[in-house]
Structure 1
Amino acid sequence: MNGDQIGNLIYLVVLGTALVSWYVVQNRGGLGKMMQHAALWGLIFVGAIAAIGLWDDIRQDVNPQQSVFADQGRIELPRAPDGHYYISLDVNGVPTRFVVDTGASAVVLTREAAARAGLTDNLIFLTEARTANGSVKTAPVRLETVALGPFEDRNLPAYVNGGEMETSLLGMTYLNRFDRIELSGGKLVLER
């Protein structure tokens, strides 16, 4: 501990002692009730300290994140609370969020994701895709780079959706680049 930390600790001890002393003087007639309140506040304090100490573990459960194991050629995606698997890839150097869709034959970007990746110049919506919500116009594009940690693919064919779409879709044209795709224990595992 350095001098500033020791000074802060002394300040907190003096402040805590003053507060406890004031509380005892104010409630000297109801000592039993005061002890109950003190125990309650002690438990709240211990709970807060435990939550802060365990925050990384709690956050992983509440908002799970993808894991890349480069040495094993493995990516693990936790199942989100909505039941889908989401992945963040760098498309042309720009982080882009996708929902993994093994039922989609291609990679499909939202217009917003395409704009962020610099793909909106001269989009021509020549092709059509059939979705659960009907047909939509799409514009074919080529993604210069698609990267996830050490895994990088170049010149990936994709489409920009002409309709409304919340999240870009990561379809089989990308997923086929993996040797193994497995669903196990609430995780989607991709291996190269």
Structure 2
Amino acid sequence: MSNQTGNGIYYALLLILPLSALFARRMPLGRVAVMALAWVGIIATGLVTVALVNRNAWLVSGAHELFYGRDQSVAGNETRIQMAEDGHFYARAMINGVERRMLVDSGATTTALSDGTAAAAKLEVDTSLPEVIDTANGMVKAYPARVATLRVGGITASDLGVVVAPEFGETDVLGMNFLSKLKSWRVEGRMLVLTPQPT
């Protein structure tokens, strides 16, 4: 069954359930028609909203910024990242022009990317040279690749080595091989401050 057929069946079920409830009440046909149109409108509005959010990540980030403030900013030559509610720091990074939210982890030796991010960034992953790395979930077999440019705020790293593995799920990690290229990085209260090397 194709995805489109499956989606069509799902949407039909969304309509059939409320319509069957209306018919079960034995209401006049005109009133059932009006309420059915209202349900169609509600479902269509929801689907359009989901499609817009999926295609425009700025809607989500803009709403988050409106209510919680900016989670990442550039002040002078420094990039400042606000601590998330879970106590971690997440950088908004551009990996070969592809935007991703990356967990900043000073305990990770190498920057690690998910299969999805590697594919989106069009990385050439060397599957002939697996590396066994120790993660929070145990030992994982990962494969090396190189990122042409990885940018966080106003800081850019070129030709950065990374590892890629399916076991990472959807998590991307910014490791020490990026942080060590900086002049300094420090935590001030709930803010991570990244300072680049002088140019």
Question: Which of 153, 164, 173 does residue 160 from structure 1 map onto?
Answer: 164
1:104 correspondence with 2:108: yes
- Please say if residues 136 and 162 of structure 1, whose CA atoms lie closer than 8 Å, have aligned partners that are also in contact: no
CA contact (8 A) 1:141 1:159 kept: yes
Which of 114, 121, 144 matches 1:117? Answer: 121
Normalising to structure 2: TM-score of the pair? 0.61
Q: Does 1:62 align with 2:37?
A: no
Match of 2:94 among 90, 93, 101: 90
Report the secondary structure of 1:114's partner residue: helix
CA distance in 1, matches of 2:161, 2:65: 35
What CA distance in whole angstroms lies between the structure 2 residues aligned with 1:136 and 1:63?
36
Number of residues of Structure 1 aligned to a counterpart in Structure 2: 135
Aligned residue for 1:163, secondary structure, equals helix
Q: Please give the alpha-carbon distance, in whole angstroms, between the structure 1 residues aligned to 2:84 and 2:110.
A: 22
Instruction: Please give the alpha-carbon distance, in whole angstroms, between the structure 2 residues aligned to 1:94 and 1:103.
Output: 24
Q: Deviations over 1:26-76 (max 9, x none)?
A: xxxxxxxxxxxxxxxxxxxxxxxxxxxxxx9x945636420012xx32010
TM-superposed CA distance for 1:162, in Å, is 3.3
- 1:129 is aligned to 133
Structure index of larger Rg: 1
Residue type at the aligned position of 2:123: L
* Equivalent in the alignment of 2:191: 187
What runs of 5+ residues in structure 1 fail to find an aligned partner?
Answer: 1-55
Identity over the aligned pairs, expressed in percent? 32
> What's 1:175 paired with?
179
**Which one of 79, 83, 86 corresponds to residue 83 of structure 2?**
79
On the 8 A contact 2:112/2:163 being kept in 1, the answer is yes
For residue 147 of structure 2, the aligned residue among 133, 136, 143 is: 143
Aligned to 1:34: none
- Any conservation in 1 of the 2:125–2:144 contact (CA below 8 Å)? no
Q: Residue 166 of structure 1: CA displacement? A: 3.4
Structure 2 residues not aligned, in runs of 5+: 1-61
- Asked whether the equivalents of residues 125 and 137 of structure 1 are also in contact (C-alpha less than 8 Å), the reply is no
- Cα offset, 1:98, TM superposition: 0.5
Q: CA deviation at 1:178?
A: 1.1
SS at match of 2:167: coil
- Counterpart contact for 1:64–1:80, Cα < 8 Å: no
Contact 1:108 1:170 in 2 (8 A): yes
For the residues of structure 2 that align with 1:157 and 1:180, how far apart are their CA atoms?
Answer: 20
RMSD: 2.3
Mapped contact 2:126–2:144 kept (Cα < 8 A): no
SS of residue paired to 2:157:
strand
